[in-house]
Amino acid sequence: MPAYATNMRLKFPIVALVLEIVTIILFAVFVVYDDGKHHGHSEYTNGTHHTANPMELYPMFQDVHVMIFIGFGFLMTFLKRYGFSSVGFNLLLAAFGLQWGLLMQGLWHMHDGKIKISILEMINADFSTATVLISFGAVLGKTSPVQLLIMTILEITIFSINEHLVVNVLKAHDVGASMIIHAYGAYFGLAVARVLYRPGLRNGHENDGSVYHSDLFAMIGTVFLWMFWPSFNSAIADQGYTQLTAVINTYLSLAACVMSAYAISSLVEHKGKLDMVHIQNATLAGGVAVGTCADMNIGPFGAMLIGFVAGIISTLGFKFLSPILASSLGIQDTCGVHNLHGMPGILGGLAGIVSVALGKAEKHQSAAPTALCPFFLLFSGSPAMQAAALASSLGFALIGGAVTGFIMKLPFWGQPPDQNCFDDSIYWEVPEEEDENEESLAHADHSKNKAEA
């Protein structure tokens, strides 16, 4: 362990500093402020409103920002001794990821060799980090910050390729990103988790669980995600009534999802009790599942049906599928991202195929966030393209995740040994507990000993 810790002292700072310096240099070469002068014939004119005010999307951006940093960060604090890492590494990965995402996504949309940043690009950059934070949930507690930074670079790079393919080549609809963020992020993370499989954790780990107040911290994340999900699904929708449709569909899908998640949680649990893991996660599945067709004319009840089904599938997944994945397939999915993002993401993709086939997207045609030209309408709107988008997202996720997993598995990235998993004290100075102060004779240095063991 001391050898490990010493390595961290140099490895992590060097990796982080070098990455940031390289990023700053790339920004110096490529990135400029948007001055509003290239929008004449670009994607923005597809919308029903030309954005005269460059700050118009800023409140939407801030909602998404809160989801990324508070939502994802606190959702993962449910573990009893991994809260520092959950919210802290979440901040680290998202802060680096948004810079990397600006570059990777911007490469596909250069103007005179420059990447122009406006609020829309900042929203998309935040979105790109969401894929990493979802995958982080799958490997939570079992990876070093160096490994996670590597995952961030690779996952966002591959994401931006798949996004370009889905949105600009296939011209598929995915306004709320059920496929290109949620399904992609989940299966990418599951592939990484599979490669990093730890037989030593097969029988669980004493720190792989919650305490009372850690579950309450996690609810901060849950509720902020739940509240602002309508912004996530509508931020890049066409402005005006299309955006309103995306807000309403997401709002209603989430409300219906809460009801089914609570009902099924009580139904399947011991003596009808509710399980915090389900409430923290499955209540959000409606937001994931309605993403692809959020801006389509599926009707309020259609959105509610999608949310209702998503809540059921997600809760059942936590109860019955996750244990099987862990025991039979060697996929140890710490946060159950398969149940919150994976299956609901696929459900969203399937709902999108059906909705497009039924013509629900026709009146809201220009939903794609980065469509490049007015020819868009000629090619989009095909169920086959939607299916191809789903397949592409899953394919990039599984292959990209597996490759990334093997790179992360290289033995010099400081991966923690099994006994130090799910424990902040391997990466953080952790304060002594109140209890220990008071019971100093009995086991005063418990956590210190553990940390330095």
Cα dihedral across residues 292, 295, 299, 300: positive or negative: positive
Is residue 98 within the footprint of a second copy (CB under 8 A)?
yes
In the block, residue with structure tokens 């509710």: 274
In the block, residue with structure tokens 């862990």: 326
Cβ–Cβ under 8 Å, residues 119 and 58: yes
Q: For the chain, first and last CA: distance in Å?
A: 7
Beta bridge partners of 115: 31
Site residues for a second copy, 296-325, by CB under 8 A, read: 297, 299-301, 304-305, 308
Residues 362, 418, 433, 445: which binds a second copy (CB under 8 A)? 433
Site residues for a second copy, 44-63, by CB under 8 A, read: 49, 53-55, 58-60, 62-63
CA gap 36, 27 in Å, rounded: 19
Of 384, 399, 415, 448, the closest CA to residue 170 belongs to: 384
Measured from the CB atom, the residue of 231 and 366 that comes closer to a second copy is 231
Is residue 362 within the footprint of a second copy (CB under 8 A)?
no
Measured from the CB atom, the residue of 77 and 162 that comes closer to a second copy is 77
Cβ–Cβ under 8 Å, residues 152 and 404: no
Cα 393 to chain centroid distance, Å, stands at: 14
Please state the closest distance from residue 315 (CB atom) to a second copy, in A: 11
Cβ–Cβ under 8 Å, residues 210 and 218: yes
- Please give the angle made by the CA atoms of 48, 51 and 54, to the nearest 5 degrees: 160
Three-state DSSP state, 284: helix
Cβ–Cβ under 8 Å, residues 143 and 408: yes
Is residue 16 within the footprint of a second copy (CB under 8 A)?
yes
Is residue 22 within the footprint of a second copy (CB under 8 A)?
no
Site residues for a second copy, 63-82, by CB under 8 A, read: 63, 65-66, 69-70, 73-74, 77, 80-81
Is residue 231 within the footprint of a second copy (CB under 8 A)?
yes
Considering only the stretches 5-13, 167-175, 331-339, 378-386, report the one whose residues sit in contact with a second copy under the rule CB under 8 A.
5-13
Residues 76, 87, 123, 139: which binds a second copy (CB under 8 A)? 87
Please state the closest distance from residue 9 (CB atom) to a second copy, in A: 3
Measured from the CB atom, the residue of 201 and 296 that comes closer to a second copy is 296
Please state the closest distance from residue 413 (CB atom) to a second copy, in A: 13
- In 140-177, which ranges are continuous DSSP H helix? 145-164
Please state the closest distance from residue 169 (CB atom) to a second copy, in A: 28
Considering only the stretches 183-191, 247-255, 387-395, 405-413, report the one whose residues sit in contact with a second copy under the rule CB under 8 A.
247-255
Please state the closest distance from residue 222 (CB atom) to a second copy, in A: 8
CA gap 152, 71 in Å, rounded: 18
Cα dihedral across residues 351, 356, 360, 362: positive or negative: positive
Considering only the stretches 38-46, 111-119, 135-143, 383-391, report the one whose residues sit in contact with a second copy under the rule CB under 8 A.
111-119
Considering only the stretches 151-159, 187-195, 334-342, 438-446, report the one whose residues sit in contact with a second copy under the rule CB under 8 A.
438-446
Site track 397-426 with a second copy (rule: CB under 8 A), x = hit:
-----------------------------x
Considering only the stretches 86-94, 332-340, 342-350, 384-392, report the one whose residues sit in contact with a second copy under the rule CB under 8 A.
86-94
Cα 453 to chain centroid distance, Å, stands at: 34
Residues 210, 233, 339, 404: which binds a second copy (CB under 8 A)? 210
- The number of residues making up the chain comes to 453
Site residues for a second copy, 249-278, by CB under 8 A, read: 251-252, 254-256, 258-260, 262-264, 266-267, 269-276
In the block, residue with structure tokens 């019955």: 320
CA gap 79, 75 in Å, rounded: 10
Of 152, 157, 151, 132, the closest CA to residue 195 belongs to: 151
- Which positions ≥6 away from 111 have C-beta within 8 Å? 38
**Number of residues lying near a second copy (CB under 8 A):** 130
Site track 114-133 with a second copy (rule: CB under 8 A), x = hit:
---xxx--x-----------
Tokens of 137: 């949930």
Please state the closest distance from residue 432 (CB atom) to a second copy, in A: 8
